[in-house]
Every structure is written in structure tokens, then in C-alpha cells.
Amino acid sequence: MTDGNYQVLARKWRPQKFDQVVGQSAIVQTLSNALDQGRVAHAYCFSGIQGVGKTTIARLVAKGLNCSKTDVPTSEPCGECTACVEIEESRNLDVVELDAASQTGVDSIRQLNEVARYTPLRDRYRVFIIDETHMLSTNAFNALLKTLEEPPPHVVFMLATTEPHKILPTVLSRCQHYPLGRISQAEITGQLQRIASVENVSVSDDGLAIVAIAADGSLRDAQSLLDKLIAFGGDQVDDETVASLLGMVDRELLFGATKLVAEQDLAGILKFVNKMVEQGTDLHQFALDLLGHLRALLVVATIEKAGEILHLPEDDLARLREQAAMFKIDDLDRAFALLSGSEYKIKQSEVPRYQLEMVLCRLARMPRLEPIEELVSQLRSESGGGSSGGSGPQQTGKQESNEGDDSASISQKVDGPNRNAGFTTPADRGLAVAPPVARPSPVETPPSGEVKPSNGTESILKSSSESGNVVSADAVGHDPVAENLNPKDPPRERNDQLWERAQGEAMVKNFVDALRGTLTDVEDV
């Protein structure tokens, strides 16, 4: 049983020296050198997610500036002198910490500026640590700007923020900006192992790895989670306790759901979701964990030493490799995109079960992509015998599903650039595919309103116009449009009908050219 002076692990294990800071070695080295060399800036800005050490580093710099064991700033504050102890306990009169989240107005900054004019009461520097700086109002930023630009020699400002983009650029430009990155899972796990050893708590490496993953780069969050686990399990914390207390989904559920999707078992998926609902599983958390599972499948499918990235036991890695073999990389990509787009709907839905069931069924019904090599081989076999030019016998739209229909097969199976994507095949419209004919030149209508044919049809059309008779099919070939021309129609109307025929022939020719070009592109791959 603990006494009333108990401190949570996040406070108890807060770094007291620069060499105790985890995961920010480059920034720590830079600041240490600046203190030792006397190159102290008048303003610093530390940015990053919560729990990566922004305020901690600011306090360490304040200790280094005011440590009384030395006559000059140092990178190794003693942590025992009056100045160091008071800074650590947040009661040093020369080191002022301002919470900008609760004091956002301009009056707080005006008071700060007034205090900054005076020399320190005891220490070498008067230090102002402004936490959550991005919460300050625009007027407050403007009030701070002049002091930041021309501060007194004994004043150092240190800003800490999780959203540096919300700070006025004019303010940020007057600070040395140090962005603190997320702490790696390996570094968090190592620090948790040291804490567990000192606190005499037994937690498996896999359990600590799960805690590190849940912390998402924040060491303080990881320490808080470990504190919660110790409060629940005491000195012995097993993996099941870690998974259940952190709200993480059992990996068996992830493997089971993915297997049902790969097998396209819709009935099994519905029964699976029903079982999760009966067990009280958080469906939104399941969707999030399933996204991570799909990402893990992609990692093991593309990287030989996937353990360096995933930090999972070898047994789980082997199961992931076995399951990744059921999918192609493109299928995993599309599945991730579909599930990612539905995750928010599952979270916001009043009945998340329905959303999850539908998205899993869509994943199962999603057509699997075929390798391009197989498509090329199939196209070559289907286009053999000189049928790529469309000169074979007439085919109707009902023959789209037959293997002998080259146009339908190509339009459905070729996945790549199409230079004539706006055209549809005659078979798609249920029309007969006629042999290609030469495209006539456009028929121009002179201002007088007379029909002016072109090319080889000029003499035929001219004689027809003079005699008032219909042009015979034997003269220009079998042409249903020409056969249906009414000899009593005015020349302009007959010209319009011929022009429609020319446009139809042009569309057919363009479609045939598109087919030939597609086959050429595929064969060049």
C-alpha cells in the first residue's frame, strides 16, 4: 500500500538531466553545446505531439542557465542547488511558467512584458516558459512580438506547442525552432523495460511492445498506460490483461476476419460480426485494428525482414506471411482504401454493426486483380488469326461474354491507358459490327445551298442530283442509309443523311484504331 505522496510514473520518471531525455538526441546535443559555448538564444520554440519532452527540455534549459553550482550556463545542471530544485518544483520566482491554454488574452502577455523589464531577483536569467503557445489570441501574439524582437539581455523565452502552424509567422521567425519527433517504439519499449525493472513489475516484452504501439510515439502516454496496467494487475501483468485493458482487439479476430474475406464467405462474415457484437467488441476499434492488420500484410508481402518494422513475435510474422499469400498487393491496397473510407462511418453510425457488415461483404465481393502478364498472354491468344482489325464476321451485342468477341474482351480486360476512352463499342450498344470502310471526306455545303460532294462519290452524286434518281447500291456498295434516301427530298436533306453516315463510319474506324492501338501497347509491355 502506498502513502499519500505517491507520484505517477510520468512525473516520477521525468528526466532531470539532458542525458535522461529519450528519443531527442539531436536536439539535446544542440542545446547542450549552445549552453557550454555560451551561445544562448533569446527565444526558443519546441514543437511536437504530447508527451515527447517539450516542457521537460524547456525546464532543463532553464536549469542549465541558472544552476548555482557554476558561474556560467552549463549543460550539466546539478539538480541539487536551490535554483534547480525550485525549477523542478515550479516555484522559482525567476522562471515563470504561463499556461496559454487558460490565459489566452492580451492582458496576460502585457503583465509578462512588464515583469520582463526587471532584472532577475536571484538567478542569472529570467526565463518565461509559455506552454500551449498556439492558444494565444492574435492580440496577445502582437503584444509579445516587440519583446521577442528586442528582449532585455537577461530574458529568455521558451515556447512549447503541439501546433506550431497556428503561431504567427512573425513570432515564430524570432525563435529558434526545434521540432521534436515521435519517439520510436523500440526506444519506448526500452524505457518501459527499465521502469518495470526498477518498480519490480513483471511484464512480458510483447506486452510492453503493445503498450508502445498504443502510445503512438508519446513516452508520457506509454508511462501512463503502464501505470494503469500495474494498478490493475499488480506485480504480474500478462498479455491478456494488456490487450483487454488497453481496449485492443484480439489478433485472432483480425486473422479470422481476413480469412473470411479472402475466402469470400459472406455468410461466415455475418456470423463473425454477430459473434463480436455478442462479446461486446468495440467495432470501431476493430475497424482501426483491421486497417493495421492490412498494413502488416502489405509489409510482410514486400519486405523480407518485416520484423524490423512491425516489432511482432516470429509466430505472428509467420501467420501474416501465410495470410498475405492469399492476396495480391493491389488487392491489399484497394481493400485498405475501401476500409479506410468506411472507418469514419462506422464510428459515427448509430448502428455500427450494419456499416461493418456491409464493408466486410464489399471487401469479400471485391474482384481480384489478375497479373498483367496473364492478361497480355490472354489478349495475344484472343487476338490471333487477324481478328484485331475487326474484319471478321458480324457479331451482335449478345456475344460480349463469349471468348471469341475480341472487342468485348479487350474493352473489359485491358487495364491501362486508352487513347479513345470516350468511345463505346457497337457491341456495347447491341448493334452489328460491320466491316470497316474508308472514311469519306466531310461534305461541305456551299453558300448557295447546293450539295458539294467530295472524293470518288462526286460524279455519282452529281448524276443523281441531275436526274432526280436514287444512287444505286451497286454504285457505292451496300449502304442502308443510301438505300433509304428519298429522291424527292431536297438536296440539303439528302446531304445531311450522307453526312450522318460519314460520321458513323468515322466512329467505327476510330474504335477499330483504338483496338489496334491497345493491342500494340499491351504487346510492347
Confidence of residue 420 (pLDDT cuts 50, 70, 90): very low
Residue 488, Cα to own-chain centre: how many angstroms?
68
- Cβ neighbors of 418 (< 8 A, separation 6 or more) are 514, 518
pLDDT above 90 for 58 = yes
pLDDT value of position 185: 85
Give residue-wise pLDDT tens across range 339-357. 998 988 999 989 999 999 9
Backbone angles phi, psi at 79, to 5 degrees: 75, 5
Please identify, in words, the CATH class of the domain defined by 251-365.
Answer: mainly alpha
pLDDT above 70 for 97 = yes
Report the SS3 class of residue 115: helix
Backbone angles phi, psi at 513, to 5 degrees: -60, -35
CA triple 288-293-298, angle to 5 deg: 130
Cell of 258: 481476413
- H/E stretch holding 191 reads helix 185-198
Give residue-wise pLDDT tens across range 463-518. 444 444 444 444 444 455 455 555 555 555 556 666 666 666 666 677 667 666 65
pLDDT above 80 for 265 = yes
Residue 364, Cα to own-chain centre: how many angstroms?
22
- H/E stretch holding 99 reads strand 95-99
Domain boundaries 185-245, corresponding CATH code? 1.10.8.60
pLDDT value of position 294: 92
pLDDT (mean) for 120-146: 91
Which of 112-116, 164-168, 448-452, 491-495 shows the lowest per-residue confidence on average (mean pLDDT)? 448-452
CA distance 24 to 217: 12
pLDDT value of position 55: 93
pLDDT above 90 for 370 = no
pLDDT above 60 for 93 = yes
Instruction: Please state, as a whole number, how many other Cβ atoms lie within 10 Å of the Cβ of residue 214.
Output: 16
Which of 13-22, 47-56, 104-113, 507-516 shows the lowest per-residue confidence on average (mean pLDDT)? 507-516
pLDDT (mean) for 240-268: 84
Confidence of residue 213 (pLDDT cuts 50, 70, 90): confident
CA distance 423 to 452: 29
Confidence of residue 269 (pLDDT cuts 50, 70, 90): very high
According to DSSP, residue 397 is labeled G
pLDDT (mean) for 388-396: 43
Q: Residue ranges per domain, the chain? A: 9-179, 185-245, 251-365, 370-525
CA distance 395 to 400: 9
Report the SS3 class of residue 35: helix
Instruction: Please state, as a whole number, how many other Cβ atoms lie within 10 Å of the Cβ of residue 203.
Output: 26
Report the SS3 class of residue 306: coil
pLDDT (mean) for 377-385: 71
Strand 155-161 with 43-47, pairing: parallel
pLDDT above 70 for 127 = yes
Q: Rounded to whole angstroms, what are the CA distances from 287 to 57, 245, 279, 347, 424?
A: 37, 18, 16, 9, 40
pLDDT value of position 124: 92
Q: Which CATH number fits domain 9-179: 3.30.365.10, 3.30.413.10, 3.40.50.300, 1.10.10.10?
A: 3.40.50.300
String of DSSP letters for 453-481: --GGGHHHHHHHHHHTPPPPHHHH-S-HH
pLDDT (mean) for 48-58: 93
Which of 74-88, 167-181, 368-382, 485-499 shows the lowest per-residue confidence on average (mean pLDDT)? 485-499
- Cβ neighbors of 352 (< 8 A, separation 6 or more) are 283, 284, 346
Asked if residue 473 lies in contact with residue 483, where contact means CB atoms within 8 angstroms, the answer is: yes
According to DSSP, residue 352 is labeled H
Measured between alpha carbons, how far apart are the two ends of the chain, in Å? 73
Mean pLDDT of the chain: 78
